[in-house]
Chains A and B, each alone.
Chain A
């Protein structure tokens, strides 16, 4: 690399514009990002892996434990219980959220409604609300003492709905996440629909395709990369769920325990128990679960991918 640089530079006259050579330029452009990337992603990961190989004990301090933490995670019912909670959560929530987003994007793209702009903006607005604030608002709405749904039930002499019971909590959380992200996913699909070349619609019309056939046979296959991305993002976000259950805990401490989701578990291990090594191992295994789930999903769907 350095060798090829010198003869070429020698035969050419010195440039007037700048002294940065073309060989060096990409490294300089990359430098700020890569430095931050190393400092705040690579280094913490390496450090976390190092910590996960040690055990923090109250008496003996930090001791090397090898893979002991990982073996412990494998049999940790608290960790897998949290993963299971989120698998159930994802099975209910992801299809609802993504199919609503897809439906709205297709309808808005076709312009078959009045006041298109209002819908596009209105659906997206909840995404601007931080999840902490969204959870606080929904927490007020769910509230068993002065929540409006409780008030309405009481006004009609009905038993007030218990959104915070162990059976209902997963749906109450799913509702918050759905409220937050339908519009975001809709915008992704909408942008992808806009990128579909317009001559395809023309060709389909000439061939006598119905609107439904056009959506199913032309738009859906072309949208597939966008759909795949949103699914992988959703799997990722679901398995990392933290803010919503962490704050709902303040309302329902008995329903949401400290290992309700894997991230809650890792957080409580690290903060209340100071078990940094074990918390790091839990996070690593969670990362592997997320990467594995995304990978398996990509494999399955690529096989069953709609024909173009």
Chain B
């Protein structure tokens, strides 16, 4: 039901049951918010969105109050603006004044609000929060003095990630966000997915930076500097650097990376192609051997840690195949470094993920103490590196990537969305059965966007049933289905809702719709690509027919496998 309410002496249409904020936004009236997150129930904690409602003595939070027919609202009256400004001033009263040195300088919601509300002097002085910098995690850094206690990270961690690794600790002025027993992050049940980083309005949470480390290595003349990047990176990077993405940008990026000083540029997508092929092999083998248990994809490092600590009983089902990043890393450190000392090859991987930073440091990912991947950068960090090296990306000729990993299929790009890896494996199975493409309508079902999706696809005379968990919120449903006796050949779990397109190392999408938009871009790119799977990728054929045979370490492909074990953390 629609009715009319009066806002700033003008009539606007409002829908029964919607919040004041949503009615205002739909009618082109913007009001600032801070603790609000789209698609989450409002808490009204920060009071930033207050408006004046005639007949109500107190200001009303627009994000949580519902519209009512009689309402006369004033959104920018002197009283309202003064209230909002005071809130920002109070938030700033104990905030460290180090914006110039802050990770989020020029990209900070608090800074933006303070500018919008024209806070130009420190009117309220509070005791500063004792600086506490938790650098214990290889992926995420917490800077507690910059936290404004909006609680967004806590809600994401509990409601979306379901790890519940952080909460408000203490009371009153001593309140802060922390883990169980107030330990450092590396002792906690944090799975390093980085969803909290995406929602943090200030610099209180950010990925651990390795840009300086990369710079240092780049200046050394006695190391071979190698970089690889995930299929999604060029698209995300274009967005971060403010240029329009075109397919050619992938090849521009190769040139950019060489300009920065990397000698070899590889595509992690080649590793994804290998993973797709090996997974298809594994699924086929499981069927052939009559195994009852499904192949559970372990390509999401955040999911793997989640599984290790919360559901160790799932571990035997997990595929031992490494993630694309680590498969490529193993190839680089074996094939490329066959002639030289492994320690003299420095490998960087750029991903849309923060958990990959953690994964690269897992014991099982190192050989004789040397990691296959030395440094993992997020998309945001790579953008900084490019800016730091003063490279004008609009004025560079495209170049191909290096052999033996110069090409990826569009299936590898597809794997960056939740459900994409499953689709890619199904496509491979279809091709093996003599077809070209898996059943369109079944695939469409796998793209629905629900946290839990399942489907079955018939290729030739074999039927494959698959399940996709899109964001760990859907995991409970999977367990329920398994308990009920559902059986699957292949299960994919992605920790971040939407998949890697919404990864912790990406540019914050802001809404579910924006994440969907990224997926749609990938689906479209997949449609247009000529090389649609590992089967018709020249790179994959060359790797299997030549590189792996030439290099003794890779011949039996055992380096593409790893192992997982129960992890003891405070749950």
Q: Do A and B come from one complex?
A: no
Name B residues whose Cβ lies closer than 8 Å to a Cβ of A. none
Name A residues whose Cβ lies closer than 8 Å to a Cβ of B. none
